[in-house]
Structures are given as structure tokens and as C-alpha cells.
Structure 1
Amino acid sequence: MKPLIVLLFSFTISLLIIKITNRTYDFKLSGRIAMSIMLMFTAIGHFAFTKGMSIMIPKFIPYKETFVHLTGIFEIILAIGLLVPRVKHISGWALIIFLILMLPANIVAALNKVDYQNATLDGNGLSYLWFRIPLQLLFIIWTYMSTIKI
């Protein structure tokens, strides 16, 4: 829920600032700015909640905490890439692929009732997926519309 709030709030603020400074709306730029801010926000979680996030990773993947840190760094790189005109398209496609690949971790977390912030197994469970899967789809569509679609 927090990433969605960050995304929508950042989008609204950037849209208004761009309108005031350029006298026109730039929905794609505002979308990329908002997604970048949201990615920076979620990347912080990879370092603040490493232990809990490592519980979300499927068992067959080794070095779980290192993997969590690397995905946090990757989110930061993608956040920056979305704002660089020359690489925004490749960053957008990379983010879409990343979001698709991260979905299994969210499914594992729901099945195992992972509360990643407290690193416990008493989270929301399957009801979490009713929110998370549509949210993941929203992030994918948002990224496509703001970086790839012409």
C-alpha cells in the first residue's frame, strides 16, 4: 500500500510542478519521476528489511540476503535510468521484466504469511495477493505507458 501512495503522491506533485514550470502537462515525465521515487522508496526496504525480504525468496535461490541487496541496488539503477532520456526505454523494459520476475517472491511471501518488516511468518497470507498482484500489474502498465509507449 505504501508504494502505491508514494507513486500516486509523487505523480500528482510532479505533474503540478511540471505544469507550473512548463505551462503544460507532461504525463509521461511525471509518470517516470513518480516511478523513480517509488523505486527509491522500495529500494530502501531492501536494506532496512533485508532479513524479512530474504524469507520471501524461493528456497532454491542461494545467498538470499545478498540477493535482496542486489535487487535493491538494481531498483536504484532502474530509478535513475527511467530519468535519463537515452536509457529510459531500456530501463522501462528492464523494470517490466524485473517486476514480472519478482512476482514469485510475493507469491511465496503470501503462501508463507511472511511479514517482511518484522521478519516473521504471521503476515496477511493469501489475502495479500488480492492486492499485490493487481498492484504489480499496475506498476507494469504504468512503466509501459510512461517509458515505452510512444
Structure 2
Amino acid sequence: MKPLIVLLGVFAVSLLVMKLLYGTYECALSGRIAMFAMLIFSAMGHFAFTEGMTLMIPEFIPFKTATVYLTGIVEIIFAFGLLFPNYRTLTAWLLIVFLILVLPANIYASIKQIDYQKATFNGHGLTYLWFRIPLQIFFIVWTYLSAISKY
């Protein structure tokens, strides 16, 4: 929920600033700025809640802590890549693939009832997926519309 609030809040502020500075709403640019902020916010969680995030990774995957750190770094790289026109489209496609690839970790965490912030097994469980799966799809569509689509 917090990443969504960051995304929408930064988007609204960015739209307003664009309107005040340039006299027009720059939806795609504001969308990329908002995704940048959301990715940076999300990446911070990889470093602040490493122990809990390692619980989200299935047992058969080795190097869990390194994977959590690496995915946090990848999110930071994606965040910056969205802001550079020469890298924007490639970054957006890679981000979409990344968002699809990490969805199973969220499903696994829900099944195991993991609360990644507290590193416990007292999370919201499967009900969380009713929010998380549509949210992940929303992030994918947002990325596509703000960084790939020529609407």
C-alpha cells in the first residue's frame, strides 16, 4: 500500500509542478518521476527489511540475502533508467519483466503469511494477494503508459 501512496502522491505533485512551470500537464514525465520515487522507496525496503525479505524467497533459491540486496540495487538502476530518454524504453521493458518475475515471491510470502517488515510469519496471508496481484498489474500498466506507449 505504501508504494502505491508514494506513486500516486508524487504523480499528483509532479503534475502540479509541471503545470505551474510549463503551463501544461506532462502525464508521461510525471508518471516516470512517480515510478522513480516509488522504486527508490521500494528499494530502501530491501536494505531496511533484509531479514524479512529473505523469508519471501523460496527455500530452493540460494544466496537469499544477496538476492534481496541485488534486487534492491536493480530497482535503483531501473528508477534512474526511466529518467534518461536514451534508456527509458529498454528500462521500462526490463522493469516490466522484473515486476512479473518478483510476483511469485509475493505469492510465496502470502502463502507463508510473511510479514517482511517484522520478519515474522504473522502476515496478512492469502487475502494480501487480492491487493498485491492487481497492484503489480497496475505497476506494469503504469510503466508501459509512462515510459513505452506513445499515447
TM-score for both structures, normalised by structure 2:
0.98
3-state secondary structure, aligned to 1:126: helix
1:72 Cα shift? 0.2
Measure, in 1, the Cα distance between the counterparts of 2:39 and 2:136: 13
Q: Which amino acid aligns with 2:85?
A: P
Query: Does 1:43 pair with 2:43?
Result: yes
Q: Which amino acid aligns with 2:14?
A: S
Aligned to 1:62: 62
The aligned runs of 1:16-27 (5 Å cut-off) are 16-27=16-27
Q: Deviations over 1:14-43 (max 9, x none)?
A: 011011111111100000000000000000
Query: Does 1:7 pair with 2:7?
Result: yes
Q: Which amino acid aligns with 1:53?
A: M
Query: Does 1:123 pair with 2:101?
Result: no
Q: Structure 1: which 5+ runs fail to align? A: none
Measure, in 2, the Cα distance between the counterparts of 1:15 and 1:82: 17
Runs of at least 4 residues off by over 4 Å: none
TM-score for both structures, normalised by structure 1:
0.99
1:106 Cα shift? 0.1
Q: Deviations over 1:70-89 (max 9, x none)?
A: 00000000000000111000
3-state secondary structure, aligned to 2:99: helix
Q: Structure 2: which 5+ runs fail to align? A: none
1:59 Cα shift? 1.5
Equivalent residue pairs, number: 150
Identity %: 61
Q: Deviations over 1:96-133 (max 9, x none)?
A: 00000000000000000000000000100000000000
Aligned to 1:132: 132
